[in-house]
Amino acid sequence: ETGVTQTPRHLVMGMTNKKSLKCEQHLGHNAMYWYKQSAKKPLELMFVYNFKEQTENNSVPSRFSPECPNSSHLFLHLHTLQPEDSALYLCASSRGGGTRDTGELFFGEGSRLTVL
Amino acid sequence: QQQVKQSPQSLIVQKGGISIINCAYENTAFDYFPWYQQFPGKGPALLIAIRPDVSEKKEGRFTISFNKSAKQFSLHIMDSQPGDSATYFCAAGTGGGADGLTFGKGTHLIIQP
């Protein structure tokens, strides 16, 4: 148990569906992240939120839409995805806050997404 | 250049042997080098990390060796055990924060009993 919980663990959706991934952290952290993990590729940072404010968006297609209502919750809204978007989507948190950040990411177990 | 190059892609080591995974980087601004361990069905977890003011850091059976001039760092697992079988990712970042990490592609390590 890392203190970061992701739901659902598995999701199958068609290209015209709309779905959402949810992440919750119980660590009191101030920064939350979405990463994409594909086979034989580096972990790809998608979005970063610090104190609920989006601080990074790594040229992610608009069919992925993040939402961070508070420092403990993070969502990834999905719509009109492509088969190449099939991957493991990992949520992570860190202490955040600039120099107070220790640099350690705490990952959830991921949501395995399959786009048909 | 933000890339971190990791090798080998996969590695098989006999129980009790030494596992060595290497990473190289180009960006001289990197000043934080963590290694993450990921078991099947789990998210990555921080294993050990080093900053460039030291050339080596050891925690139990795990050691990071860092060569600043060569822009390379490596993970050594001594007395490798079957429970060490996992995927290992190196990463590099600046400023010590977690939001600027660049990850390698990962090494799938299998320790044979």
Quick one: pLDDT band at residue B108, thresholds 50, 70, 90?
A: very high
Write down the pLDDT at residue A97: 63
What residues in B contact A50, CB-CB < 8 Å?
Answer: 99
Q: Do A43 and B103 touch (CB under 8 A)?
A: yes
Q: Do A109 and B34 touch (CB under 8 A)?
A: no
Quick one: pLDDT band at residue A57, thresholds 50, 70, 90?
A: confident
For the segment A93-97, the average pLDDT, to the nearest whole number, is 82
What residues in A contact B31, CB-CB < 8 Å?
Answer: none
Quick one: pLDDT band at residue A51, thresholds 50, 70, 90?
A: confident
Residue among B41, B42, B103 whose CB faces A42 most closely? B103
Distance from CA of A24 to the nearest CA of B (A): 14
* Percent over 70 (pLDDT), chain B: 96
Q: Do B44 and A40 touch (CB under 8 A)?
A: no
**Contacts of residue A84, Cβ cutoff 8 Å, sequence gap at least 6:** A115
Write down the pLDDT at residue B74: 98
- What DSSP letter does each residue of A1-58 carry, written as one string? --SEEEE-SEEEE-TT-EEEEEEEE-S--SEEEEEEE-TTS--EEEEEEETTEEEEE-
Q: Which residue has the tokens 């992925």?
A: A64
Write down the pLDDT at residue A61: 93
- Residue A33 to residue B17: CA distance in whole angstroms: 36
pLDDT tens by residue, B10-51: 999 999 999 999 999 999 989 899 999 999 999 999 999 998
For the segment A72-85, the average pLDDT, to the nearest whole number, is 95
Q: Do B44 and A55 touch (CB under 8 A)?
A: no
Distance from CA of B13 to the nearest CA of A (A): 20
What residues in A contact B103, CB-CB < 8 Å?
Answer: 42-43
Residue with the bigger pLDDT between A7 and A103: it is A7
Residues A2 and A94: beta-carbon distance below 8 Å: no
For the segment A29-35, the average pLDDT, to the nearest whole number, is 92
For the segment A24-52, the average pLDDT, to the nearest whole number, is 91
Write down the pLDDT at residue B64: 96
Coil/strand/helix, residue A85: helix
Single-letter code of the amino acid located at A103: G
Quick one: pLDDT band at residue A1, thresholds 50, 70, 90?
A: confident
Helix (H) or strand (E) holding A105: none
What residues in B contact A104, CB-CB < 8 Å?
Answer: 34, 46, 49, 98
B1: pLDDT strictly greater than 70 = no
* Percent over 90 (pLDDT), chain A: 70
Quick one: pLDDT band at residue A115, thresholds 50, 70, 90?
A: very high
pLDDT tens by residue, B67-101: 999 999 999 999 999 999 999 999 998 876 677 78
- Residue B95 to residue B82: CA distance in whole angstroms: 35
